Structure 1
Amino acid sequence: MSRFVLVTASQDFQRKVSQAVRGALHGSVQVLPPSVLLGGPQELFDRLTGEPPEVLILGPGLPEDDALKLATVFDLQFPEISLVLVEDREPEQVITAMRAGIRDIVSPSADGDQLRVLLERACLASAGRRRGLVAAAGPERAPGRVIAVMSPKGGVGKTTVATNLAIGLGKIAPMGVVIVDLDVQFGDVASGLLLEPEHTLKDAVSGAAFQDSMVLKAFLTVHPSGIYALCAPQSPSEADHISGEAVSHLLSQMAAEFQYVVVDTTPGLGEHVLATLEQATDAVWVCGMDVPSIRGLHTSFSILSELQLVPQGRHVVLNFADRRSGLTVQDVEATIGVPVDTVIPRSKAIPFSTNKGVPLLQDSSRDGAARAFGKLVERFDPKRNAQPQKKLHRRMVIS
């Protein structure tokens, strides 16, 4: 599917849009000649393959009347498609364009970064309208799964697990996954996904975004794999402005809009972690293959059981697994008192992917760690869970 359709004869602007999308936004660009305006939506769709686009870009260099006429028809028949007009217009002309259904206007001289931000916003608006139309046409969609990725101590690869899980879930539910970096002081999701966000968590829990989910979506960053990200504040001091109540409200908003909300929490059991657990449907517990990490996990289970904050979906991930550590999976299970669900072997590919900002599941790696991440993702696949499982737990072997 071509997520973006551009109608223009300007080759310079074609290149500009393609560069803005390439490597930054999920999907491709299909360019159509101005002649499709005369045939209306039907001729435009006849030239496309697959599903309708999310964003239709009109211009530059199109006859104004024909462009606005097509926009009016699209706004009536296909309101889920975001319409963008490329033209320098006077203020009074902007009103005319908006009445025709144009959602945004951009100058032909806009640079690549400006175009990328505008197209991100148009995609978010399109996704919101699609979900609204689905909800209006049938029963209300159940809230998405909120998956808290947690660890009692730092340094166990929690962010690596969270980013790979989000990338993997994005293949199950394209454009239906958001990863939230709740390590509010030293979050690494942005670097782990090679993102440079314009907005962060602080923006999303204050002002209009706190009241309006559509405004909230404007603060998300689109990853090339087709997932969204809400990154941690740029300064540790900004964490003081983020309360547990705000976190709880934010995750509730996210669950109403996305099929999967992956939350990379801060180590320990602080205010933000407890607020996350109140909203979580699942918890992915990450521990390393060392005694302090394993004992910390056992203690966390005990405390949260007393507080009745253990989510129904429990998934234990043993990271950095290595026969030479002096411990076995059986030793870990005996200490924490529950089965280990996923064992991720120690791998040289993991630090390399982290430094590169490209998770293993995005890079289509065949490394053993990538296969383990894939098994973790499968635990959240509704198709897999719909099938009867012969065994609830299979003893893992460290390679």
Structure 2
Amino acid sequence: MNICGENEYLRRAMAAGAREYLVKPFSSNELADTIRRVNESTKRRLSLMGLQSLASPRIKIQKGKIITLFCSKGGVGKTTMACNLAIGLAQSTKKKVALVDLDLQGGDISVMLNINAKGTIADLAQESDAMDMGLIDSYLVPHLSGAKILPAPLSPEQAELINLERVEELLHILQENFDYIVIDTSPFNLAALDAANQILILVTQDLPCVKHVKTNLDILATLGHSDKVKLIVNCAGIESGIKITDLEKSFNTAAFAVIPWDDKVVRSAINKGLPAVMNQANSKVGQSLLDLTAKLAGSPPKSDGKNTEEIPRRSIIGRLFSF
């Protein structure tokens, strides 16, 4: 082991705003305890600084509604859904919507929406001027739907330039100036989870994802966020997948929404840089996403709700849910 290299890595992480570290291998309980300690420490520090309103999501003095999409497993369609929800909200509600890419080491929202970003959240975080809406707006990229986009850093190492306090300040200002803020976040971004009014956890019909989501739910419960969580079954209908009713039993909660799988529609939307809610709104995927958007906005669904009921579902051995 290169001790000098390890020490330099830890030094750089702490300089970037890291508050704790874990040594592999570690258990889910150790991870949950560490996140809870960091969360409580941050709230105490902000309270002493006179910023308790930023640290506590239960003091709801801001205007906007923050919707954070979250799952510690990659490949579940989180970024695709974040883009569709933000664009869908902007189109259907005609209200002010911001889409923030807080997947700081590998965010793809710019690619998904085919936008060229002159500046990113990393550049914004390094501004010496006090953060206000005028400064933030200079970094927001307008989308033809009416939504505004704040892209992720262009390279992974730039994530080190963004600390927790800067993100909390950003979200606080956005809440005062937008009706909806949709966040695509990397695993356990405390600022995005604390500030959220709703946390959408995505799950797919495969066992590795189920395992991740179980751990995610336990950690969110430890952080006191269980009341915010909504379970979204994404890419549903794959024949070999776990039965949706079994997923709901495993998590002891009903799915808030079920989004069907349609590889042709999804890939076409990604490659064209136009979300399904814009480009293929009449497809089953597009209708399901619009229905989810309507639920989040508190409006009646656009479709008759039959699409998700017609998705084929097949079960696997029940013992897979015994962990």
TM-score for the superposition, normalised by structure 2: 0.72
Tell me by how many angstroms 1:204 deviates.
2.2
The SS at the match of 1:240 is helix
1:150/1:210 Cα in 2 relative to 1: closer, same or farther (>3 Å)? farther
Tell me by how many angstroms 1:190 deviates.
0.3
Alignment of 1:151-190 (within 5 A): 151-174=71-94, 176-190=96-110
Question: Any conservation in 2 of the 1:149–1:263 contact (CA below 8 Å)?
Answer: yes
Structure 1 position 230 matched with structure 2 position 136: no
Which amino acid in the other structure matches residue 240 of structure 2?
S
CA distance in 2, matches of 1:376, 1:314: 14
Tell me by how many angstroms 1:151 deviates.
1.0
Tell me by how many angstroms 1:288 deviates.
1.5
Which string of whole-angstrom CA distances, capped at 9 and with x for unpartnered residues, describes residues 81-105 of structure 1? Answer: xxxxxxxxxxxxxxxxxxxxxxxxx
1:232/1:210 Cα in 2 relative to 1: closer, same or farther (>3 Å)? farther
Structure 1 position 315 matched with structure 2 position 230: yes
1:240/1:328 Cα in 2 relative to 1: closer, same or farther (>3 Å)? same
Which amino acid in the other structure matches residue 224 of structure 1?
L
Question: Any conservation in 1 of the 2:101–2:185 contact (CA below 8 Å)?
Answer: yes
Which amino acid in the other structure matches residue 363 of structure 1?
N
Which amino acid in the other structure matches residue 341 of structure 1?
F
Which position in structure 1 is the counterpart of 2:253? 338
CA distance in 1, matches of 2:72, 2:150: 23
Structure 1 position 285 matched with structure 2 position 201: yes
Which position in structure 1 is the counterpart of 2:311? 398
The alignment's C-alpha RMSD in Å is: 1.9
Structure 1 window deviating more from structure 2 (181-190 vs 286-295): it is 286-295
Question: Any conservation in 1 of the 2:238–2:261 contact (CA below 8 Å)?
Answer: no
Question: Any conservation in 1 of the 2:87–2:145 contact (CA below 8 Å)?
Answer: yes
CA distance in 2, matches of 1:218, 1:154: 31
CA distance in 2, matches of 1:242, 1:142: 23
Which amino acid in the other structure matches residue 127 of structure 2?
G
Q: 2:210 aligns with which of 294, 310, 325?
A: 294
Which position in structure 2 is the counterpart of 1:377? 293
CA distance in 2, matches of 1:173, 1:316: 23
The SS at the match of 2:123 is helix
Which position in structure 1 is the counterpart of 2:23? none
Q: Which has the higher contact order (CA 8 A, sep 6+)?
A: 2
Tell me by how many angstroms 1:211 deviates.
2.4
Question: Any conservation in 2 of the 1:146–1:255 contact (CA below 8 Å)?
Answer: yes
Alignment of 1:1-399 (within 5 A): 142-174=62-94, 176-207=96-127, 210-266=130-186, 268-269=187-188, 273-310=189-226, 312-347=227-262, 348-384=264-300, 396=309, 398-399=311-312
Which string of whole-angstrom CA distances, capped at 9 and with x for unpartnered residues, describes residues 97-129 of structure 1? Answer: xxxxxxxxxxxxxxxxxxxxxxxxxxxxxxxxx
CA distance in 1, matches of 2:175, 2:82: 17
Which string of whole-angstrom CA distances, capped at 9 and with x for unpartnered residues, describes residues 157-189 of structure 1? Answer: 000100000011002343500100001111000
CA distance in 2, matches of 1:176, 1:202: 23
CA distance in 2, matches of 1:357, 1:398: 26
The SS at the match of 1:178 is strand
Tell me by how many angstroms 1:250 deviates.
1.0
Question: Any conservation in 1 of the 2:205–2:241 contact (CA below 8 Å)?
Answer: no
1:239/1:200 Cα in 2 relative to 1: closer, same or farther (>3 Å)? same
Tell me by how many angstroms 1:325 deviates.
1.9
Which position in structure 2 is the counterpart of 1:15? none
The SS at the match of 1:153 is coil
The count of aligned residue pairs is 245
CA distance in 2, matches of 1:172, 1:375: 11
Question: Any conservation in 1 of the 2:269–2:276 contact (CA below 8 Å)?
Answer: yes
Tell me by how many angstroms 1:384 deviates.
4.2
Structure with greater Cα Rg: 1
1:330/1:397 Cα in 2 relative to 1: closer, same or farther (>3 Å)? farther
Question: Any conservation in 2 of the 1:182–1:265 contact (CA below 8 Å)?
Answer: yes
CA distance in 1, matches of 2:130, 2:210: 37
- Could you tell me the percent identity over the aligned residues? 31
CA distance in 1, matches of 2:98, 2:241: 38
TM-score for the superposition, normalised by structure 1: 0.58
Question: Any conservation in 2 of the 1:208–1:215 contact (CA below 8 Å)?
Answer: no
1:343/1:205 Cα in 2 relative to 1: closer, same or farther (>3 Å)? same
Which amino acid in the other structure matches residue 344 of structure 1?
I
CA distance in 2, matches of 1:185, 1:209: 25
Question: Any conservation in 2 of the 1:150–1:264 contact (CA below 8 Å)?
Answer: yes
Unpaired runs of 5+ in structure 1?
A: 1-140, 386-394
Which string of whole-angstrom CA distances, capped at 9 and with x for unpartnered residues, describes residues 8-46 of structure 1? Answer: xxxxxxxxxxxxxxxxxxxxxxxxxxxxxxxxxxxxxxx
Unpaired runs of 5+ in structure 2?
A: 1-60, 302-307, 313-323
Tell me by how many angstroms 1:296 deviates.
0.9
Which position in structure 2 is the counterpart of 1:41? none
1:349/1:282 Cα in 2 relative to 1: closer, same or farther (>3 Å)? same
CA distance in 1, matches of 2:205, 2:288: 16
Question: Any conservation in 2 of the 1:172–1:381 contact (CA below 8 Å)?
Answer: no
